[in-house]
Structure 1
Amino acid sequence: MKHLALAVGTALAVSTAALASPALASSRAATTPGAVFFGYKSGGVEVVTQQGGLSRLSVGGGTFVGQFSAAPDGTKVAWVDSQSRLHVKSASGDKVIAKNAAYGGPCLTPAWSADGRRVAYVVKGTATAATVALVGSAGGTPVTAGKTVGVCHLAWSADGRSLAGYAGDTKGVYLLNTASHVSTKVPGIKLANHVDGLSPNGDRVVVNALGPNAEGGDGSWPTAYTPSLYNTKTGKKITIPVRGTLIGARFLTDGTLVVRVKGKSFNTWVVLDPDTYKVSQRVSEIGQAKNLGLLNVFG
């Protein structure tokens, strides 16, 4: 296994490892879809949100290393600067909401709660198992969610009870229970360098699983990856019954899995029923999203 790593704080080692217009539906309920995408631009990141029209927010430049995530509806972007300050940027301005965030590795990205009211982030420090804190998206006093080795590309379950992240050395994915503050390693996943989402109750996780000789990468948000789906309790890999070149997958808040499939002129979403994993619908992205990364799908 090949790895790239850097130091965060003084001793925390971490790996530096399109747009839909038709109605998106699962077997449970029809929804009007929106999507949040991103692209790297001019030393920073541009977040592109489709909801009716298109809106854009840019963060970064200078010493920015890519520690960002977008709110579920794309109207805000959380990001970390070189002074360990956690910001939330919106169309109305940019506000610092915490001053103790770990800085220095692109994988140390904040994560948003499903309702967009809170942000989880890794606290700077010296331990391999780092502290994760939660703070209101408008600011306030951070509270501790617990410590975990899985600090990279945090993903938050819709019920608010679980945070998932991969280890900085890519050796496994960990679940942090926000109520008990206990972190446990997910069985079955030996190596991974991206966590892209958790099911609403945290029992399934979408990751970029790695083979034993794969590069660990630099930890940046991937614009495309091959998604793998695992049961977080049993470690069983769940087959994604979708043909073609898969380049991502996202959970809706009801557990519906949206699988992104690469196309020549545009990509396609294949929508899987949350109970049966049967295909319930296919939705075409518009061509403008073809080379952008997908951050979220929402109804």
Structure 2
Amino acid sequence: MKHRLPLATVSAAVLLAPLAASASADAASAATAVPATAHATAPAGTSARPLTGVAVYARYDRGYAVTRYTPAKGFTRLGVAPDTAQFSASPDGEKVAWVTAGGQVQVAAGAKPTTIAKGAPAGIPCLTPVWSPDSTKIAFPSRGTADALPVVIVNARGTGKRVAGSTTGTCHLAWSANGRYLAGYAGTTEGVFRLDLTTGRSVKVKGVKLSNHVQSLSPDGRRVVVRTLSPREPGGDGAWPTWYRPTIIDTATGAQVPIPVSGRLVGALYLPDGRLVVRVAGATHNTLVVLSASGKRLQRLAEPAAARTQALLHVVR
């Protein structure tokens, strides 16, 4: 199938696919931001606080620029991943990690980057690092010759490097909030795999034949947010998508989990407490709809207008 692109065949020529229609500079973004407003509160008996709209976005700006948005304050640049699409932001919205052209894993927090590890495959856009739920560690695929690559975990300061296991699903890794599972899609787009960090065992997720994006895992690792593909859809070059049509799959049964939100859905992700944030496209700005673990609508937030064509990486709080 022509849309499948094995990792070994990806060339440097397709590395830097810009985020489609990425827009203005940080100052202009802050000026046009629409403050996030809550329209509901968390139900009685829960400890989850309503979200305030603090989130992390990315756009292409001579490299992938990662910024943190705070209502009433605007955008703060966390870092720019130079000449690489292999990047990720920490869940706390404070730091960025990326893989350089030389296979170094670097971390930045708005300042000069620090190299914390070496040996990552470079020049393959989908092989992104991922931060641990507590933003203290980074996992990344290591170099290898087999379809299943070793996954290395290292502290954000560069200590404690170890191999956690091997998996075929090394593209766009997501880490569950309980710390136990990593999930990613295969470089050929032929399925999603979940790696158990306790046992080191990797299992192909039922119910996903083709996929080119993994965004998030539920806190217990049972549900995964992905972008599925039909046999005729192109797989793309593996760069992080500006938007995608989210599908939620139960990894134990392979069943698709309904998303009870109307409109054109352009993203979704789980929060550490089990709430689901669904991104809905709008003409002037997108809207974030917050659902409880049972699917009850809890809240609606207006995203900043300047983020409408940017990738949503995390909702911080």
TM (normalized to structure 2)? 0.87
Equivalent residue letter for 1:294? L
Q: How many residues align?
A: 290
Matching residue of 2:266:
247
Cα root mean square deviation, aligned: 2.0
Matching residue of 1:59:
80
CA contact (8 A) 1:266 1:286 kept: yes
Bigger share in helix: 2
C-alpha change, 1:258 and 1:205, in structure 2 (3 Å) is same
Matching residue of 1:76:
95
Equivalent residue letter for 2:144? G
Secondary structure of 1:30 counterpart: coil
User: Residues 175-226 of structure 1: CA distance to partner in whole angstroms, max 9, x if unpaired?
Assistant: 0000100000110111100000000110100000001111011100000000
CA contact (8 A) 2:64 2:84 kept: no
The one of 39, 48, 55 equivalent to 2:59 is: 39
1: distance between equivalents of 2:247 and 2:171? 17
Matching residue of 2:30:
none
CA contact (8 A) 1:19 1:35 kept: no
User: Residues 3-52 of structure 1: CA distance to partner in whole angstroms, max 9, x if unpaired?
Assistant: 2345279xxxxx9997763348544322343100000112x101110135
Matching residue of 2:279:
260
Bigger share in strand: 1
2: distance between equivalents of 1:86 and 1:19? 35
Secondary structure of 1:154 counterpart: strand
User: Residues 58-94 of structure 1: CA distance to partner in whole angstroms, max 9, x if unpaired?
Assistant: 3233xx2300000112221100011110000112321
The one of 171, 174, 177 equivalent to 2:196 is: 177
C-alpha change, 1:233 and 1:6, in structure 2 (3 Å) is closer
CA contact (8 A) 2:79 2:111 kept: no
The one of 98, 106, 118 equivalent to 1:87 is: 106
2: distance between equivalents of 1:211 and 1:187? 16
Q: Which 5+ residue runs of structure 2 have no aligned equivalent? A: 18-32
Equivalent residue letter for 1:59? V
TM (normalized to structure 1)? 0.92
